[in-house]
A and B are shown apart, each in its own frame.
Chain A
Amino acid sequence: MRAVSWSVLLVFAAGCGGEDAGPVQAVGSSGSSGSSGTVSTVCRAQPLVQLAAPVADARGRKPFGIVVDLRDSGGMRGPHPLKVVFSKGETIIKVLGDSAHEPGPVTLALDPAVTRDLETGGYTITATAGCPAGASESKPGEAKAPLYLARLGMTQLDVRAGDGARVDLMYHAVDKQVGNVFPIGSAVASRMAIGAGEADLDDANGALRTFPKPWADLDSPPVDDNGVVVEDGVTFPVSLRVGTKPDLVFSPAKTAQGSNTGQRLQPTGLGDAAAPPVRVVVEGTPAAESSIVKAGEPVTVRMAASPVPSVARVEQAFRWHFEAKAADGKWSEVPGSDQEVTVRLYGVLGNTQGTAAPELPWVAVVDDATAAVKGTANDAAGTRAALVRHIYEEMGLSYDRAQGASHYTAYAGSYSNASFRLARFLKRSSGSIVNCSDCASILSTYSNMVGAELKYTIILSGFNLNPILGIGATTFGSPFNSGRLSFSYHAVTSDDAAATIYDATLAVDGDTTPAEAPYMKKLVQGMSGTEYLQRLSGDPRAKYTYVDQTTSVAF
């Protein structure tokens, strides 16, 4: 909860030019309520206007608070007439209150309905206090407080590297045409759609613009009727290296809908010489003097903490509000000036897949991979292990029990040139049956696209198997319907030339006798290469042959 500091802006005492005689106490006056029996009948009314902030948002999301501290230095009790008006120059725009009150604070509000169509600029709140009937001496008082009416808001937010790194992403399709990639590495994270000639802050109907929701399609960016990518009115996902405290770069609005004087557009008032300084404050990050806002000039705020401390997918709600600086140097929140946008962030370790399409990390892959890791890891080994589990247990894949054929991976010419048809896999265009090459491709590609490097290795050639638990299987044994316990080849992944193995195709028997029952399911999540061959096969013909091979991505 943010504290609102009330600003006392300006107080005038009207009718107080004469000598102040001080309070007079009448003895035995009627109407006494005190036990002492003494009541003052001298009235010297002194209103004090306190504004929530020296700046109000003309279309704030909630009323602007005003407190008039009604004092009577004469000490007279009883209802004092109090009139509070909102005006520009000599023109009264709205009487905010006109009734009698006992001395003490009187709370009023300037409703945005009153200010929504006004010109931005300087206005005045004037409080005039009178004296109760029966006063032996009456000195009414008046106080004025200047109020700057502005239109506050940002029209775009970008999330940049800050003290870490932003990692490039791309959509692998445009307008459903796979292979027409669209990189979003440098795209603005979230931008309002503002039509030509329209106000930055208000739409054509005069309604306040809000930031768009995160773009949900993981394959393709939005397109218009001609298939042209639309970047306005979109919130794109952003990939950040784990631990990054990003810079939030805001673009303040320059224009707002025109006033009731007939203008179509008007300036927001931000940065006007007559306006008090205004700054943006991001929730969760301490306010800084450096984040002063001027119309059309970007403002950068570095987050105090990383929203992605580990590998994860995060729906990050960025919330901010505006504060205005009073003459006494105090900053106060401008009521109803808050905005927010939710950006989908991916916490990743980097990118070890490639920097040009189609190797550039795909949104669809990074989204799934980071969601699968769920913040359980912030290093490469942990990330790989989590992805092995995800592919083996959560993707709904099953081993090709007919003959262990690849459905999404092809080796052109030799085992050293694996090509992974990633777009087809994402759509499961050939179903959910896979083999070891597919699993190695999925694992290495997913892992590399979040920066945990993996390459594939082929184990050759024609070797016997111990009973295994193939992906999608429920019992240990042969991976094939035929019951045959051998592989002509097997593909696995490693980050260190097969010294350490990650394999999402199968689980091995993790006990001391991997060739015999009972079986203890053990996922291959960073197992030594030697141990892996023992548990997988024990056959000396099983050898790591094509080591450290790179899978290339195809559509």
Chain B
Amino acid sequence: MSTKRLPSLSEALVALGCLLLPASAHAQSAGDAPLRATYPQLASAPSAALYAGVALDRVTLPGLHLRSRDDQTLESGGVTLAFADDQENVQTTVQIAVAPDAAGARSFALGYLRGVSGILDPSGADEIAYADGSDRTLVAVHGNVAYVVSGAKAASVSAIVKRAITGGSPTFPVVRVALPSSFEGSAPVTVTTSGGAKYRLRATGGYVARGSDRPSVRAFGPGPITVIAVASDAFGRVTEARTSAVAR
């Protein structure tokens, strides 16, 4: 099973079953030299500009509706908005990553470009931007915000995203998840978030049931069990927290 590498501060907090901050940087590979050479702007000195995030409710595309929204941490792809036509065919996706700093946003963009088998050209759509000639793919970095547009009229969509970028500092949601240290069979899960952030729960070693008034975790059997909470807010900021216990 894969595990994500988290900053040491976050790890310390996770160990306390408390809050988790988003990672600020991606690992960089020496094998990425050709990639950096192809996209030199991403290797230049990052700007110091910071933004609070992207007002996701303002990212609306004419003629399309939001079919799905998937909120993941920065390391797991950020927030993906999928816009579909009346036949529910996805026509455009917008992937938004709000990082704590500009380096994190650039690292996200570079990671995306690693999986592009063509070559994108520099674009003036944003501070740092690369796009294809048919205006269907655009990768951009705007301070600590990175985003990717896949679909028709990518530059126009970029303008919509840019307008939704909100000033301020990126304050990520705080999420706390708690379990009894040991339990038999099932146990209630207590989750608190800051600022009304929404959260999603999952578990390893068991699963989370909705419950009539509060969620509960149900162990598959005796052994360690971990509950993971992913909280996100209206500005595309995502935080993950986890806590562990032992099922008897």
* Chain A residues proximal to chain B, CB less than 8 Å: 174-175, 177-183, 223, 225-229, 354, 356-359, 400-407, 409-416, 419, 421, 424, 427-433, 435-437, 460-462, 480-482, 484, 487-490, 545, 552-555
* Chain B residues proximal to chain A, CB less than 8 Å: 1-2, 26-29, 31-32, 34, 38, 67-68, 70, 75-77, 80, 82, 89-91, 93, 111-112, 114-120, 132-134, 136-137, 148, 150, 200-204, 207-212, 215, 218, 220, 228
Q: Which B residues are in CB contact (< 8 Å) with A179?
A: 200, 202, 228
Give Cα distance in the complex from A419 to B114, angstroms: 13
Contact assessment for A427 and B118 in the assembled complex, using a CB-CB cutoff below 8 Å: no
Q: Which B residues are in CB contact (< 8 Å) with A404?
A: 116-118
Q: Which 6 A-B pairs have the closest CB atoms?
A: A227-B210, A406-B115, A414-B29, A404-B117, A431-B90, A179-B202
Give Cα distance in the complex from A203 to B47, angstroms: 70
Contact assessment for A177 and B1 in the assembled complex, using a CB-CB cutoff below 8 Å: no
28 contacts between A and B (CB under 8 A): A174-B207, A175-B209, A178-B202, A179-B228, A181-B202, A183-B220, A226-B211, A227-B210, A227-B215, A229-B218, A356-B1, A400-B137, A403-B119, A404-B116, A406-B116, A407-B93, A410-B115, A415-B114, A427-B68, A429-B67, A430-B80, A430-B82, A430-B90, A431-B91, A432-B89, A481-B134, A552-B2, A554-B76
Closest chain B residue to A462 by CB distance?
Answer: B34
Q: Which B residues are in CB contact (< 8 Å) with A490?
A: 117
Q: Which A residues are in CB contact (< 8 Å) with B136?
A: 402-403, 481
Give chain B nearest CB distance to A510 CB in angstroms. 22
Give Cα distance in the complex from A225 to B211, angstroms: 8
Contact of B77 among A421, A435, A436, A553 (CB under 8 A): A421
Q: Which B residues are in CB contact (< 8 Å) with A401?
A: 134
Contact of B27 among A356, A412, A428, A552 (CB under 8 A): A412
Contact of A487 among B38, B89, B117, B120 (CB under 8 A): B117
Give Cα distance in the complex from A356 to B1, angstroms: 6
Q: Which B residues are in CB contact (< 8 Å) with A424?
A: 70, 80
Q: Which A residues are in CB contact (< 8 Å) with B150?
A: 400, 402, 405, 407, 430-431, 433
Q: Which B residues are in CB contact (< 8 Å) with A229?
A: 207, 209, 218
Contact assessment for A436 and B117 in the assembled complex, using a CB-CB cutoff below 8 Å: yes
Q: Which A residues are in CB contact (< 8 Å) with B201?
A: 177, 180
Closest chain A residue to B133 by CB distance?
Answer: A482
Using known A-B contacts A404-B116, A411-B111, A482-B134, determine if residue A429 contacts B211 with beta carbons closer than 8 Å.
no
Q: Which A residues are in CB contact (< 8 Å) with B133?
A: 481-482
Give 8 new A-B contacts, CB below 8 A, not counting A405-B150, A429-B68, A488-B119: A177-B201, A180-B202, A181-B207, A228-B218, A411-B115, A413-B29, A480-B118, A481-B132
Q: Which A residues are in CB contact (< 8 Å) with B211?
A: 226-227
Q: Which A residues are in CB contact (< 8 Å) with B215?
A: 227
Q: Which B residues are in CB contact (< 8 Å) with A488?
A: 34, 38, 116-119
Most central of A228, A416, A432, A555 by chain B CB within 10 Å: A228
Q: Which A residues are in CB contact (< 8 Å) with B70?
A: 424, 429
Contact of A403 among B1, B67, B77, B132 (CB under 8 A): B132
Give chain A nearest CB distance to B110 CB in angstroms. 10
Give chain B nearest CB distance to A506 CB in angstroms. 11
Closest chain B residue to A487 by CB distance?
Answer: B117
Contact assessment for B207 and A180 in the assembled complex, using a CB-CB cutoff below 8 Å: yes
Using known A-B contacts A175-B209, A225-B212, A411-B111, determine if residue A428 contacts B116 with beta carbons closer than 8 Å.
no
Closest chain B residue to A224 by CB distance?
Answer: B209
Q: Is the interface of B mostly helix, strand, loop or mixed?
A: mixed
Q: Which B residues are in CB contact (< 8 Å) with A181?
A: 202, 207
Contact of A413 among B27, B112, B116 (CB under 8 A): B27
Contact assessment for A413 and B218 in the assembled complex, using a CB-CB cutoff below 8 Å: no
Q: Which B residues are in CB contact (< 8 Å) with A489?
A: 117
Contact assessment for B93 and A430 in the assembled complex, using a CB-CB cutoff below 8 Å: yes
Give chain B nearest CB distance to A492 CB in angstroms. 12
Contact assessment for B82 and A431 in the assembled complex, using a CB-CB cutoff below 8 Å: yes
Give Cα distance in the complex from A229 to B112, angstroms: 37
Contact of A177 among B2, B29, B118, B202 (CB under 8 A): B202
Give Cα distance in the complex from A427 to B133, angstroms: 29
Closest chain B residue to A405 by CB distance?
Answer: B116
Give Cα distance in the complex from A182 to B209, angstroms: 11
Give chain B nearest CB distance to A417 CB in angstroms. 8
Closest chain B residue to A399 by CB distance?
Answer: B117
Contact assessment for B209 and A223 in the assembled complex, using a CB-CB cutoff below 8 Å: yes
Contact assessment for B208 and A180 in the assembled complex, using a CB-CB cutoff below 8 Å: yes
Contact assessment for A482 and B132 in the assembled complex, using a CB-CB cutoff below 8 Å: yes
Contact assessment for A402 and B204 in the assembled complex, using a CB-CB cutoff below 8 Å: no
Give chain A nearest CB distance to B170 CB in angstroms. 21
Give Cα distance in the complex from A182 to B219, angstroms: 10
Q: Which A residues are in CB contact (< 8 Å) with B80?
A: 424, 429-430
Most central of A225, A405, A555 by chain B CB within 10 Å: A405
Contact assessment for A357 and B209 in the assembled complex, using a CB-CB cutoff below 8 Å: no
Closest chain B residue to A435 by CB distance?
Answer: B117
Give Cα distance in the complex from A488 to B35, angstroms: 9
Q: Which A residues are in CB contact (< 8 Å) with B148?
A: 405
Contact assessment for A403 and B115 in the assembled complex, using a CB-CB cutoff below 8 Å: no
Q: Which A residues are in CB contact (< 8 Å) with B210?
A: 175, 223, 226-227
Q: Which A residues are in CB contact (< 8 Å) with B228?
A: 179
Using known A-B contacts A179-B202, A431-B82, determine if residue A410 contacts B118 with beta carbons closer than 8 Å.
no
Most central of A359, A421, A428, A430 by chain B CB within 10 Å: A430
Give Cα distance in the complex from A487 to B28, angstroms: 22
Give Cα distance in the complex from A421 to B119, angstroms: 23
Give Cα distance in the complex from A155 to B200, angstroms: 37
Closest chain B residue to A229 by CB distance?
Answer: B207
Contact of B209 among A228, A406, A431, A555 (CB under 8 A): A228
Using known A-B contacts A223-B209, A404-B118, A554-B2, determine if residue A414 contacts B200 with beta carbons closer than 8 Å.
no
Contact assessment for A410 and B111 in the assembled complex, using a CB-CB cutoff below 8 Å: yes
Give Cα distance in the complex from A317 to B212, angstroms: 38
Contact assessment for B2 and A419 in the assembled complex, using a CB-CB cutoff below 8 Å: yes
Closest chain B residue to A423 by CB distance?
Answer: B70
Give Cα distance in the complex from A222 to B152, angstroms: 39
Give chain B nearest CB distance to A96 CB in angstroms. 54
Closest chain B residue to A490 by CB distance?
Answer: B117
Give Cα distance in the complex from A133 to B26, angstroms: 107
Q: Which A residues are in CB contact (< 8 Å) with B32?
A: 414
Q: Which A residues are in CB contact (< 8 Å) with B34?
A: 460-462, 488
Closest chain A residue to B210 by CB distance?
Answer: A227
Give Cα distance in the complex from A161 to B98, angstroms: 49
Give Cα distance in the complex from A178 to B210, angstroms: 13
Q: Which B residues are in CB contact (< 8 Å) with A177?
A: 200-202, 208
Contact assessment for A412 and B137 in the assembled complex, using a CB-CB cutoff below 8 Å: no
Closest chain B residue to A356 by CB distance?
Answer: B1
Give chain A nearest CB distance to B134 CB in angstroms. 5
Closest chain B residue to A171 by CB distance?
Answer: B207
Contact assessment for A402 and B137 in the assembled complex, using a CB-CB cutoff below 8 Å: yes
Give chain A nearest CB distance to B122 CB in angstroms. 14
Contact assessment for B207 and A226 in the assembled complex, using a CB-CB cutoff below 8 Å: no
Q: Which B residues are in CB contact (< 8 Å) with A421?
A: 77
Contact assessment for A437 and B27 in the assembled complex, using a CB-CB cutoff below 8 Å: no
Contact of B82 among A405, A429, A461 (CB under 8 A): A429
